[in-house]
Amino acid sequence: MTAPYFSLSQGHLQLLSICPPQFQRRYWEQLGSLLEPQRQIKTEWGQNFHQLVQQWTLGLPLEKLSNPNPDSTQVDLLTALKNLIDTVPALHLPPSQRQAEHQRTLARDDVLLTVVYDLLVLTPDQGQIFDWKTYPQPAKPEKLHHHWQTKLYLYVLAETSSYPPEQLSMTYWFVQSPDKIQHYTITYNEAQHRGTERELTDLLQQFRQGLAAWHRHRTPLAHRHNCDRCPYHDQFFPPD
């Protein structure tokens, strides 16, 4: 009998790493929580923006794109898209060098690690990941270094390509930053890659052990120390 595979994304890993009980509640008990109306609006704006960027990268002219929510009190979607197009040179590379909404999967025994790159640029000497963030740049963008989106995205690209870690980078573009679009680039190296490998091994072991105990005795996942804040607070940016 073939062992089951579990598919984990950066969102799974982030929640498991910061609040195991919330991970258990959401994914094992299937007890999701309703978003507040204002948060729901922001989530829908982000989803619509990503869809518009993908349509444009596939060749649909800007004037042919429609605004899914023209009455929104947030930044106009088409205006935000035009600003992004005018600001990010990588969007104008030949289609052979850029891939929008590109998915990759890496198997780690019984776990499939899945990533989706908003834009992936591959040239002979470097691989660049671009991610569109639909909220203003955080006050301390270096926190992005420690988020599992950054760690997993770079790790999977290194493991599924011929690029050494030093030739990889990830840039976050904050499309709703005041005045003009801001960005923050994170470079990669072998030491970071080995560090992520160790963290990932430990976290996946925690996942497997916790899942086995849950299936056997419904043993709940334990809180981490200093677990006194909800992971849905703004210090942990949500996937969009």
For residue 193, the number of C-alpha atoms closer than 13 Å in the C-beta half-sphere is 18
Alpha-carbon span 146 to 14, nearest angstrom: 10
pLDDT at residue 178 in the model? 64
Q: Tell me, what's the pLDDT at 141?
A: 85
Q: What is the pLDDT of residues 11-21, one digit of tens each?
A: 999 999 988 88
Which residues are CB-contacts of 165 (< 8 A; sequence separation ≥ 6)? Answer: 154, 158, 188, 189, 190, 192, 193
The distance of Cα 61 from the centroid of its chain, to the nearest Å, equals: 27
CA 149/CA 59 separation, integer angstroms: 28
Residue 68: beta bridge partners? none
- As a whole number of angstroms, the distance between CA 155 and CA 37 comes to 35
Cα–Cα distances (Å) from 102 to 33, 116, 154, 209, 219, in that order, read 29, 5, 14, 31, 37
pLDDT tens across 117-131, in order? 999 999 999 999 999
pLDDT attached to residue 215 = 66
- Mean pLDDT within 70-92: 82
For 192-227, the pLDDT digits (tens) are 999 999 999 999 999 888 887 766 766 666 666 555
Say what the pTM is: 0.85
Query: Which residue intervals of 113-189 are DSSP H helices?
Result: 148-159
Which residue's entry shows tokens 């006050």?
Answer: 139
